[in-house]
Amino acid sequence: MPFPDDFLWGAATSAYQIEGAPLADGAGPSIWHRFAHTPGRVAGNETGDLACDHYHRALDDVALMAELGLDVYRFSLAWGRVLPEGRGAVNRRGLDFYARLVDALLEHDIQPMATLYHWDLPVALHERGGWLNPDSPHWFADYAETLFRALGDRVPFWITINEPWVVTVPGYLDGQLAPGHRDLFEPPRVAHHLLLAHAEAVAVYRTLGRQQIGLAVNLEPQHPASPSPADLEASRRRDAFINRWFLDALMFGRYPEELADIFGPAWPEFPAKSLEQIRCRGDFVGVNYYSRGLVRAAPDVAPLGAVRLTPSDAELTTMGWEVYPKGLTETLLWLRDRYANPPLYITENGAAFDDPPPRNGRVEDPRRVAYLRAHIRAAAKALEQGVDLRGYCVWSLFDNFEWAEGYSKCFGLYQVDPSDQTRRPKASARFYREVMASRGAAAFQEPTPPTAGYAADTAPRDARAAPASRAD
Ligand code: FCB
């Protein structure tokens, strides 16, 4: 059994995706609130107005997490609940919500892992240029300090920013996610400011003498679709673009050289001093892993010159993402080798499938069970090879607001009934409870034969369209 006893098993969520009540108790609106309320931005024009109503059910939800057996719960704080204007006056009622959540977690022996920024920038800051403003790292550090001072004695793990690549590329280059910009010149500056924001927040955290802070990146190994030199080169560029952009900056204080080529005239000269500043390993790296990239050269597709293919013979999730557990082992070994074996937490891993409605109160999701089992085994393989992996969080605890996809994509261990907010454990929740209770061993037992309801979840693969994903 490769998982040590102190390995942390958990589940993850984020504020805008589950809380609902985005303007309650004096909170300031976020760019996601505004984006979701702009017609045509989110599938079905759905919003996070209600989501899982977690804002009003947090204590019950913590009880449910305890029943499930989580060691750690990864959640995010909405910046605008705490600082409605993004800076300045603290909104006590917003802060109290998180203080109550943290206390409830601790009462149930669940360790809080708090993400400071999971994409919901206050509109007030966006109107000052948001992440394009060179002051944005200071805004972030001040916000972080407010929380470190209020909750730092009770929150053992902090994540500064979730997936800076997703903030940068779907947010400012492709326009699929808030704030929905499409501009070649903005992403390099946004990325740089996010990295400075991380570094400044870590510096503040250190002045308080604390030690468990990191950043969470989305990673996916990039494999060429063919051995042709063009596809090899395309996969190398995509690897620089997605995997190395932020990590090389954090670990080495430099950007991969491919980026200057990808962005051409839009790539600025960054002052050497600021490059030195963004070199900031933190105490751990959070890894969000879902799939791999199968890459084909596409010279006409600017700026990358590469596209991600959807393999026709592979199992796909409803996000159109290939189920590829081996890529998790590969990613973890790559981190070990390239970045001198940093401490790692898998901060997100999971899959969206079309789950059947409950039958006799049960939701059968055998494909998610299989996905989780395979990925936990893949993580174990990396542990056996010396990767310093310390924990694993399923994305996600609940079916929730999946950004531009609205509620159409379900990742949860629990189904949430939109009519009355009942949380129903899926078979994957029962499976994961066994995994946690056995400290990982249950993931190595052979699956039990499928129960009734299996058929509903196994529609032929080719009958489903593979929708475009934000990773394309
Ligand atoms: C990640 C996000 C998370 C969720 C999953 C499916 O990129 O961090 O909020 O949307 O994808």
Predicted confidence (pLDDT) per residue in 198-215, tens digit: 999 999 999 999 889 999
User: Residue 447's pLDDT band (boundaries 50, 70, 90)?
Assistant: confident
Predicted confidence (pLDDT) per residue in 308-337, tens digit: 999 989 999 999 999 999 999 999 999 999
Separation of CA 4 from chain center: 24
Q: Does residue 61 have its Cβ closer than 6 Å to ligand 1?
A: no
User: Residue 450's pLDDT band (boundaries 50, 70, 90)?
Assistant: low
Catalytic residues: 163, 348
**Cα 366 to averaged position of ligand 1 atoms, centre (Å):** 21
Distance between CA 146 and CA 265 in Å, rounded? 38
| pLDDT of res. 322 | 98
Q: Does residue 225 have its Cβ closer than 6 Å to ligand 1?
A: no
Predicted confidence (pLDDT) per residue in 270-289, tens digit: 999 999 999 999 999 999 99
Predicted confidence (pLDDT) per residue in 160-175, tens digit: 999 999 999 999 999 9
CA distances to 40, 125, 324 from 110, in Å: 39, 33, 30
Predicted confidence (pLDDT) per residue in 222-277, tens digit: 999 999 999 999 999 999 999 999 999 999 999 999 999 999 999 999 999 999 99
Predicted confidence (pLDDT) per residue in 330-374, tens digit: 999 999 999 999 999 999 999 999 999 999 888 999 999 999 999
| pLDDT of res. 456 | 39
For the CA of 166, the nearest atom of ligand 1: 7
108 pLDDT exceeds 70? yes
User: Residue 463's pLDDT band (boundaries 50, 70, 90)?
Assistant: very low
Most informative mutation of 113, 163, 393 for ligand 1 (most atoms within 8 A of CB): 163
459 pLDDT exceeds 70? no
Q: Encode the chain in three state secondary structure.
A: CCCCCCCEEEEECCHHHHCCCCCHHHCCCEHHHHHHCCCCCCHHHCCCCCCCCHHHHHHHHHHHHHHHCCCEEEEECCHHHHCCCCCCCCCHHHHHHHHHHHHHHHHCCCEEEEEEECCCCEHHHHCCCHHHCCCHHHHHHHHHHHHHHHHCCCCCEEEEEECHHHHHHHHHCCCCCCCCCCCCCHHHHHHHHHHHHHHHHHHHHHHCCCCCEEEEEEECCEEECCCCHHHHHHHHHHHHHHHHHHHHHHHHCCCCCHHHHHHHHHCCCCCHHHHHHHCCCCCEEEEEECCCEEEEECCCCCCCCEEECCCCCCCECCCCCECCCHHHHHHHHHHHHHCCCCCEEEEECCCCCCCCCCECCEECCHHHHHHHHHHHHHHHHHHHCCCCEEEEEEECCECCCCHHHHHHCCCCCEEECCCCCCEEEEHHHHHHHHHHHCCCHHHHCCCCCCCCCCHHHCCCHHHCCCCCCCCC
Share of the chain above pLDDT 70, in %: 95
Q: Does residue 14 have its Cβ closer than 6 Å to ligand 1?
A: yes
Share of the chain above pLDDT 90, in %: 93
75 pLDDT exceeds 60? yes
Q: What residues contact residue 70 under an 8 Å CB cut-off, 6+ apart?
A: 9, 10, 11, 110, 436
Q: Does residue 75 have its Cβ closer than 6 Å to ligand 1?
A: no
Q: What is the mean pLDDT of residues 72-91?
A: 99
452 pLDDT exceeds 50? no
Predicted confidence (pLDDT) per residue in 6-54, tens digit: 999 999 999 999 999 999 999 999 999 999 999 999 999 999 999 999 9
Most informative mutation of 75, 217, 246, 288 for ligand 1 (most atoms within 8 A of CB): 288
Please give the mean pLDDT across all residues of the chain: 95
CA distances to 195, 284, 285, 337 from 251, in Å: 11, 11, 10, 12
464 pLDDT exceeds 50? no
Distance between CA 323 and CA 375 in Å, rounded? 9
**Cα 12 to averaged position of ligand 1 atoms, centre (Å):** 10
**Cα 289 to averaged position of ligand 1 atoms, centre (Å):** 10
Q: Does residue 139 have its Cβ closer than 6 Å to ligand 1?
A: no
Q: Between 462 and 18, whose confidence is greater?
A: 18
For the CA of 470, the nearest atom of ligand 1: 7
Distance between CA 472 and CA 466 in Å, rounded? 12
Q: What is the mean pLDDT of residues 362-388?
A: 98
Q: Does residue 457 have its Cβ closer than 6 Å to ligand 1?
A: no
Q: Does residue 348 have its Cβ closer than 6 Å to ligand 1?
A: yes
For the CA of 402, the nearest atom of ligand 1: 10
| pLDDT of res. 312 | 87
